[in-house]
Amino acid sequence: MTAVALILLLLAIVVCGLVGFAAYTARQVEIADPPRGRFLELDGCRIHYVDEGAGPPLFLIHGLGGQLRNFTYALVGRLSDDFRVIAVDRPGSGYSTRPAGADPRLRAQAEVMAKVIGTLNLDGPLVVGHSMGGAIALAIGLDHPECASGLALIAPVTQVVETPPAAFRGLDIRSPLVRWMVAWTLAAPAGILGADRVLRAVFGPEKVPADFASLGGGALGLRPQSFYATSTDMEAINDGFSEMIKRYPTLTVPVGILFGKGDQLLDYRLHGQATKDQVPNLDLKLMEGGHMLPVTAPDAVAAFIRRMAQAAAAKVR
């Protein structure tokens, strides 16, 4: 056997081993944290969601790399006594699927979320968006105002992000082919080895809950399909965002933003205070804390959502 052939053989063994490890990791994660909600079929997507409580509807949209367990960890239980709370896995995230070639841009995701709202016969829910979910909520308010009585945005992305946060730069893969290859080889071991560093940045300056990987769904991000979808979402987030931002003054529903002043992923001055100048009558509340407020400060987030629900109800009347 020539040296070149030996190298190729060893490379093939390594790649097969990495693919096997990725598949094994995904299977173990899904056994440990199976789907907890219901499913609906929509435009080629299989959408996973939870639906708890009764009362005025709340529709919760998670952020980049997250899933509905970010909300069920601590927030949903604080709201379900007074509201019907629907938390959804966005297409490609958590246990929701996204067809190959589907449009991942903000307005396209907002259209899918609007169809979920219609399919579930929700009557003007307050749309709650965290992080990237906040940008999608804004797209719903702009493109589908009939689907939202108001918007409650928690640490939202509201402006173009020129440079990804350092914690997410490993997701910055422009080629879909390379993205797929990384997802099925390097992503799982790199995710395991770098989990502490990434989570410290995502949660900082607050501590990462010890049970976040299990109860908060954090381990689901180790699956190849989750890495691929998250990287795809990040690469697409700025596509058409500038045009959407220009339309902020036309928003007709009540809009509120809750931001932690210690957020290490998004600057509250850009995504909060600057946005207040663009959105009529925006309700901006700043507090101590980081980016993962639905997990780390659920009482404050629940109080904010209740206040925005009251504002939305008053607007409807």
Label residue 58 left, alpha or beta by phi (over 0 means left) and psi (-120 to 50 means alpha): beta
Could you tell me if residue 114 is inside a domain? yes
Judge contact between 111 and 136, C-beta under 8 A: no
Q: Residue 70 has what pLDDT?
A: 95
Q: What are 145-176's pLDDT values in tens digits?
A: 999 999 999 999 999 988 888 888 889 999 99
Alpha-carbon distance of 259 to 70, in angstroms, equals 17
Low-confidence ranges of the chain (pLDDT < 70): 1, 4-12, 14, 316-317
Residue 30: inside a domain? no
| CATH for 302 | 3.40.50.1820
The answer to whether position 286 is within a domain reads: yes
Q: Please report the pLDDT score of residue 8 as a whole number.
A: 59
Q: What pLDDT is attached to residue 249?
A: 95
In a domain? residue 144: yes
Residues whose CB is less than 8 angstroms from the CB of residue 309 and which lie 6 or more positions away in sequence, other chains included: 56, 58, 83, 126, 150, 152
Q: What is the pLDDT of residue 4?
A: 64
Quote the pLDDT of residue 83: 97
Question: Is residue 6 included in any domain, yes or no?
Answer: no
pLDDT at site 187:
87
Q: What is the pLDDT of residue 235?
A: 94
Report the residue count for the chain.
317
Q: What is the per-residue pLDDT for 6? A: 63
In a domain, 183, yes or no: yes
pLDDT of residue 17: 77
Cβ–Cβ < 8 Å for 126, 253: no
Answer whether residue 92 is part of any domain: yes
Residues with Cβ within 8 Å of 201's Cβ and at least 6 positions away in sequence, in order, are 165, 166, 167, 264, 265
pLDDT of residue 12: 67
- CB proximity list for 163: less than 8 A, separation 6 or greater: none
Count of domains for the chain: 1
Quick check: is 58 in a domain? yes
**Predicted pLDDT at 86:** 97
What is the residue range of 190's domain?
A: 36-316
pTM: 0.93
